[in-house]
């Protein structure tokens, strides 16, 4: 009854969500769901008050979801492309602004009309991710590109960002990589009145205007661009992490907070100008939608603009609006436009936070107010001055505290689920940050308005924002420095010792978990820190590992180590007594000196205790050996975990293997061998395998460079010895759970298992 009378959209939203989930997790086609929707609709027509309408809505949304996913042109394109990269020629229109992607390259979304590959033309109206050299064609330009097309791959490491799932929620399944600018032909420029192109030009002007007069302070300029326009590419990673730790990174994600601020500013301006409520709504809704377009038409800003528009329409409707029903209506309309939004963490977070505010803020405010208000039966006229001051302060501060607390409670489940973090400083930080952010946004609006007439006028307001932004930075850094500001929540270890061998292509890195401690044997290339290592640490409930064993100076093995030294607490660094000419290792040493962090040098025979009956033993190199190549000086480490032994060979070549067989044959027996590839491409020798006698071998493998491609004859030799081989180009990362009963190894990508 409550669904139909007071909250009609709540029932419709729940039915829509149930239908989308049914479409996602069942194998039924769209025709079956369409038939169910038609039958339920007919039943509802004859039985007007029956709940059949909800079944019709559920089946209708399930049908739409199947159409938009596995029966869509984009998914059929990915199936036609298959595995690997294929040369193609594509024609279509650019429908997004460029975003930085590595050095001198950008990414845009191409709405493809035709894609030619494999000797045939694939007609389609599907969005494709396009990577090309900067500068990219403008938004709205029609282009023809030649490049390699491939289906967006799944992640190959645990806790890594799942780009495939994220892109598929936005209807994108394939990516085209363009090698050179000559492979891009602009067939037609966007018309001057093309609205998205106009929005792009407006954003570029706004960004220049917000920098007027304060260009000497790039940090503030970048923060202003991030807060007002959602441009975060130029904000340093360390500063972004401080905002994440304090639960204030939402300032740079143009969403409900930003749209609400813009709407409130416009509402107050129009109210002062004497504009009626109805005409104010008529003016504000297009302005909010254009603001969402200026900020890139991102799902978060579009969601916020739609929700705000529905709330505003409710304000001027003849009936008294129910905010929670308006929220459900906004959610229903968003899912009707694109069902994949249900699986978007941004949609989930926005909806849950707003719902928590609507349901919890008022009761919390009443609870706070009741503790400081005088007796309600005492007339206000005889209150003391302190009672009046306390009551008025409670009305303002208590309301802000109630909203912040409700938002924190609403966001907590998803924050723990997706980001594995609890930020205790988020509540006090947001109490101060949000008013400052509103002040910054209002001042930025004044600067933009002044910039229409003269740049010096914009500079005046920008300099005021310079002060406000430095104040905001001080609050964030203070909150981040508080003891217990934030902590990570990870799942318990599934075995007494767990080894995760990451898949970094031609690089290498492995993590050892035991007794709540984490040690790394190498840590991968520089890109792996933000893309794999740091998210994996957070998922395990850790801010940093206890130690890192550096095998040698190869950037593909230790490129992330320099960044890991900035983690708190900084890990202990274990290195070989032998030096090499690696520039990456040299930069790491200089960084250690700057931070005052010592390193620990080890050689063959040394032991490092990392847990109960868990020891790392250095097998190679000895102190006096003389080699010219870094791969021949590599640290070879053996993990002793109870009765199970694991040897990490890294990129050790023939000379290191021969020395180990000749000098330490009794130390080589192991159950598991984890090996990289020597720079010469020479794999692990048969003699060395016979000395180790492993039952399982994990080896790095990649399509590039050629030395990383496993030789078929070598692979056959390994398998003839009864060794189970996990190639990481097939298995991806490998997780090995070690217990007193033995060990179990699982491939992350292919699901392979070996006990």
67-102: per-residue pLDDT in tens? 999 999 999 999 988 878 899 999 999 998 888 887
Domain boundary among 190, 218, 241: 190
319-337 tens-digit pLDDT: 666 778 878 888 898 899 8
Residue 241 belongs to some domain of the structure: no
> Do 648 and 637 touch, CB atoms closer than 8 A?
yes
Q: Is 483 exposed, middle or buried (0-12, 13-18, 19+ CB in 10 A)?
A: exposed
- CATH number of the domain residue 720 falls in: 3.60.15.10
Q: Report the pLDDT averaged over residues 221-246.
A: 83
- Measured CA to CA in angstroms, residue 209 lies from 98, 197, 252, 292, 297 at distances of 20, 18, 18, 19, 21
Question: Nearest CA to 677 among 697, 692, 660?
Answer: 697
Residue 256 belongs to some domain of the structure: no
Q: Report the pLDDT averaged over residues 154-159.
A: 93
Residue 203 has pLDDT above 90, yes or no: no
**630 or 292, which is more confident?**
292
Based on the domain organization, do 62 and 88 belong to the same domain? no
Based on the domain organization, do 612 and 543 belong to the same domain? yes
Residue 245 belongs to some domain of the structure: no
pTM, whole model, 2 decimals? Answer: 0.86
pLDDT of residue 5: 55
Based on the domain organization, do 658 and 710 belong to the same domain? yes
Residue 543 belongs to some domain of the structure: yes
pLDDT of residue 388: 66
Residue 698 has pLDDT above 70, yes or no: yes
Q: Report the pLDDT averaged over residues 682-688.
A: 87
Residue 381 has pLDDT above 70, yes or no: no
Tokens of residue 446, six digits: 């004044």
Q: How far apart are CA 201 and CA 218, in angstroms?
A: 22
Q: How far apart are CA 378 and CA 141, in angstroms?
A: 70
Residue 708 has pLDDT above 60, yes or no: yes
Instruction: Give the pLDDT band of residue 66 (cuts 50, 70, 90).
Output: very high
Q: How many helices (H) and strands (E) does the chain have?
A: 27, 25
Q: Report the pLDDT averaged over residues 484-488.
A: 89
State which residues form the domain around 419. 344-423
Residue 390 belongs to some domain of the structure: yes
Q: Domain count of the chain?
A: 4
pLDDT of residue 339: 93
Mapped onto helix, strand or coil, the DSSP state of residue 523 is strand
Q: Report the pLDDT averaged over residues 731-737.
A: 95
> Do 275 and 284 touch, CB atoms closer than 8 A?
no
Containing 466, the helix (H) or strand (E) segment is helix 455-481
Based on the domain organization, do 55 and 88 belong to the same domain? no
Question: Nearest CA to 291 among 255, 327, 318?
Answer: 255
Tokens of residue 719, six digits: 């398998």
**641 or 305, which is more confident?**
641
> Do 410 and 357 touch, CB atoms closer than 8 A?
yes
- CATH number of the domain residue 144 falls in: 2.40.50.140
**Do the bridges between strand 172-177 and strand 120-133 make them parallel or antiparallel, or are there none, so unpaired?**
parallel
Based on the domain organization, do 638 and 688 belong to the same domain? yes
Based on the domain organization, do 176 and 90 belong to the same domain? yes
Q: Is 363 exposed, middle or buried (0-12, 13-18, 19+ CB in 10 A)?
A: exposed
Q: How far apart are CA 324 and CA 559, in angstroms?
A: 50
Based on the domain organization, do 582 and 659 belong to the same domain? yes
Percent of the chain residues past pLDDT 70, beyond the cut: 93
Instruction: Give the pLDDT band of residue 1 (cuts 50, 70, 90).
Output: very low
Percent of the chain residues past pLDDT 90, beyond the cut: 43
Based on the domain organization, do 169 and 48 belong to the same domain? no
Query: Which neighbouring-strand residues pair with 618?
Result: 637
Cα angle, residue 69 at apex, residues 65 and 73 outer, rounded to 5°? 125
Based on the domain organization, do 627 and 721 belong to the same domain? yes
Average pLDDT of the chain, as a whole number:
87
Based on the domain organization, do 416 and 501 belong to the same domain? no
Q: Report the pLDDT averaged over residues 485-496.
A: 87
Cα angle, residue 156 at apex, residues 150 and 160 outer, rounded to 5°? 110
Max Cα distance, the chain (Å): 97
Domain boundary among 68, 90, 111: 68
Residue 273 belongs to some domain of the structure: no
**91 or 710, which is more confident?**
91
Least confident of 163-167, 465-469, 675-679: 675-679
Instruction: Give the pLDDT band of residue 219 (cuts 50, 70, 90).
Output: confident
Residue 38 belongs to some domain of the structure: yes
Question: Nearest CA to 670 among 688, 649, 645?
Answer: 645
Mapped onto helix, strand or coil, the DSSP state of residue 410 is helix
Domain boundary among 143, 165, 190: 190
Based on the domain organization, do 577 and 651 belong to the same domain? yes
Q: Report the pLDDT averaged over residues 448-454.
A: 90
For helices 345-372 and 256-272, the axis angle rounded to 10 degrees is: 60
Residue 232 belongs to some domain of the structure: no
Containing 369, the helix (H) or strand (E) segment is helix 345-372
Based on the domain organization, do 724 and 631 belong to the same domain? yes
Tokens 């302070």 belong to 217
pLDDT of residue 754: 93
**111 or 707, which is more confident?**
111
């Amino acid at each position: 009854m409550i669904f139909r009378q007071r909250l009609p959209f709540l029932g419709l939203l729940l039915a829509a969500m149930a239908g989308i989930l049914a479409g996602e997790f069942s194998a039924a086609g769209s025709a079956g769901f369409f038939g169910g929707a038609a039958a339920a609709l007919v039943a509802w027509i004859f039985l007007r008050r029956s709940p059949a309408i909800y079944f019709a809505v559920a089946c209708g949304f399930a049908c739409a979801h199947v159409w938009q996913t596995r029966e869509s042109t984009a998914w059929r394109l990915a199936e036609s492309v298959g595995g690997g990269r294929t040369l193609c020629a594509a024609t279509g229109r650019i429908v997004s602004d460029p975003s930085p992607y590595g050095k001198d390259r950008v990414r845009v979304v191409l709405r493809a009309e035709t894609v030619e590959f494999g000797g045939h033309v694939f007609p389609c109206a599907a969005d494709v991710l396009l990577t090309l050299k900067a500068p990219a064609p403008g938004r709205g330009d029609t282009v023809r590109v030649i490049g390699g097309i491939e289906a967006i791959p799944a992640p190959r490491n645990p806790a890594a960002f799942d780009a495939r799932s994220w892109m598929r929620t936005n209807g994108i399944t394939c990516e085209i990589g363009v090698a050179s600018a000559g492979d891009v032909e602009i067939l037609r420029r966007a018309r001057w009145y093309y609205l998205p192109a106009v929005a792009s030009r407006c954003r570029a002007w706004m960004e220049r205007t917000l920098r007027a007069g304060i260009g000497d302070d790039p940090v503030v300029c970048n923060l202003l661009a991030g807060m007002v326009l959602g441009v975060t590419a130029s904000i340093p990673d360390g500063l972004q992490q401080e905002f994440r730790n304090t639960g204030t990174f939402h300032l740079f994600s143009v969403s409900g907070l930003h749209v609400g601020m813009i709407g409130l500013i416009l509402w107050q301006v129009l109210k002062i100008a004497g504009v009626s409520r109805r005409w104010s709504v008529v003016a504000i809704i297009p302005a909010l939608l254009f603001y969402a377009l200026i900020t890139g038409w991102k799902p978060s800003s579009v969601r916020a603009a739609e929700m705000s528009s529905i709330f505003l329409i409710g304000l001027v409707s003849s009936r008294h609006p129910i905010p929670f029903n308006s929220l459900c209506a906004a959610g229903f309309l968003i899912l009707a436009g694109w069902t994949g939004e249900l699986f978007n963490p941004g949609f989930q977070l926005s909806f849950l936070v707003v719902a928590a505010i609507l349901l919890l803020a008022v009761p919390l405010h009443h609870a706070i107010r009741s503790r400081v208000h005088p007796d309600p039966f005492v007339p206000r006229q005889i209150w003391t001055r302190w009672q009046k001051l306390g009551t008025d302060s409670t009305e303002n501060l208590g309301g802000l505290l109630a909203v912040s607390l409700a938002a924190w409670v609403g966001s907590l489940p998803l924050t723990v689920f997706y980001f594995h973090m609890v930020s205790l400083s988020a509540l006090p930080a947001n109490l101060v940050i949000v008013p400052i952010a509103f002040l910054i946004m209002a001042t930025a609006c004044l600067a933009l308005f002044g910039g229409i007439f003269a740049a010096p006028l914009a500079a005046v307001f920008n300099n005021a924002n310079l002060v406000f932004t430095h104040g905001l930075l001080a609050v964030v850094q203070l909150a981040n420095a508080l003891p217990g500001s934030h902590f990570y929540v990870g799942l318990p270890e599934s075995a007494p010792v767990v080894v995760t061998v990451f898949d970094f292509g031609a690089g290498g890195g492995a993590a050892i978990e035991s007794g709540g401690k984490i040690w790394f044997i190498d840590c991968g290339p520089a890109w792996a820190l933000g893309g794999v290592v740091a998210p994996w640490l957070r998922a395990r409930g850790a801010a940093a590992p206890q130690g890192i064993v550096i095998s040698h100076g190869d950037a593909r093995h230790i490129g992330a180590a320099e960044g890991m030294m900035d983690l708190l607490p900084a890990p202990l660094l274990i290195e070989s007594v032998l030096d090499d000419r690696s520039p990456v290792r040299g930069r790491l040493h200089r960084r250690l000196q700057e931070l005052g962090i010592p390193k620990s040098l080890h050689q063959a025979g040394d032991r490092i205790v990392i847990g109960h009956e868990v020891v790392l033993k250095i097998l190679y190199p000895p102190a006096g050996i003389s080699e010219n190549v870094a791969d021949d000086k590599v640290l070879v480490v053996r993990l002793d975990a109870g009765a199970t032994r694991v040897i990490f060979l890294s990129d050790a070549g023939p000379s290191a293997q021969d020395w180990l067989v000749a000098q330490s044959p009794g130390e080589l027996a192991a159950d598991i061998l984890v090996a990289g590839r020597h720079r010469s491409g020479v794999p692990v020798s048969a003699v060395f395998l016979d000395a180790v006698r492993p039952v399982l071998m994990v080896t790095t493998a990649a399509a590039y460079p050629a030395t990383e491609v496993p030789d078929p004859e070598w692979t056959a030799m390994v398998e003839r010895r009864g060794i189970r081989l996990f190639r990481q180009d097939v298995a991806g990362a490998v997780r090995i759970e070690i217990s007193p009963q033995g060990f179990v190894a699982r491939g992350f990508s292919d699901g392979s298992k070996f006990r």
